[in-house]
Amino acid sequence: MRIAVCQINSRDDQTANLSTARGLLSEAAAGGADLAVLPEYVDYLGTAERLPPPEPVDGTVGSFFADAARELGIWVVVGSFHERGPDPAHTYNTCLVFDRRGELAASYRKIHLYDVEIPGRVSYRESSNVAPGTDPVVVDCDGVRLGLSICYDLRFPELYRRLAVDGDAQVLVVPAAFMVHTGRDHWEVLLRARAIENQCYVLAAGQIGQHEPARTCFGRSMVVDPWGTVLAQAPDTTGVVLADLDLHRLATIRAELPSLANRRL
């Protein structure tokens, strides 16, 4: 299976964001990708005041990417978008997966929300306007099992163990908008750790560059193999990185180093 991770600088113009994302998906398809992964909040990253009204899964954003998947004949992981939430004050941070026909194959609502309070330095509470999801999700993609996650989920290894063990995931998908100050030290380390400990490929598609209000995303979208080797990494710009997944290699690694089979807890 050939995959593409797409790196984008989403801003506070949803129409422009979707247009850029569509161009990256076309580039991925032209490169022979069977599956393309977009970053977290590909639809909008900006101030709350300019955020378009959140939509259901089959709204404008969902329909846009369903059409793209069908027209290009590829699987599309919409890293996440602002889904209409359980009440007017909260949205869901939701990942969508569309198959080659443009049919919705799976949706996943981000479980772990980024709440941090460091007096005098950082005050950010994602839970103030986002409601958490509750259920891990694995989806079959042309016979390959994809485990879904979003950004801050990456710091919670128990989620990925459930995806790999209970869901039989072979590939872990991590769309993100990782901040620069944490990304430069933790992004690659955590991605490689999740790949090694679960003996899965990891597909990490990140936001890049400046976003309002006053945030900078790290980028460095990458593909990691089940041994923890980085197969491909994006430069610090908008673009697409392609890689081929070797499921025979995955099976060999799991057979020769059977850590999943040997677990006792």
| Strand partners for 240 | 6
Q: Is 151 a catalytic residue?
A: yes
Q: Is 40 a catalytic residue?
A: yes
Q: From the candidates 40, 83, 141, 200, which is the catalytic residue? A: 40
Q: From the candidates 95, 110, 200, 217, which is the catalytic residue? A: 110
Q: At CB < 8 A and 24+ separation, what contacts does 161-169 make?
A: 161/197, 161/198, 162/136, 163/136, 163/138, 163/198, 164/198, 164/199, 164/200, 164/260, 165/260, 165/263, 166/136, 167/136, 167/137, 167/138, 168/138, 169/138, 169/145, 169/198, 169/200
Q: From the candidates 141, 151, 200, 217, which is the catalytic residue? A: 151
Rounded to whole angstroms, the Cα distance separating 196 from 168 reads 15
Which residue, among 62, 152, 59, has the nearest Cα to 103 in the 3D structure?
62
Q: Is 141 a catalytic residue?
A: no
CB 200 within 8 A of CB 172: yes
Residues annotated as catalytic are: 40, 110, 151
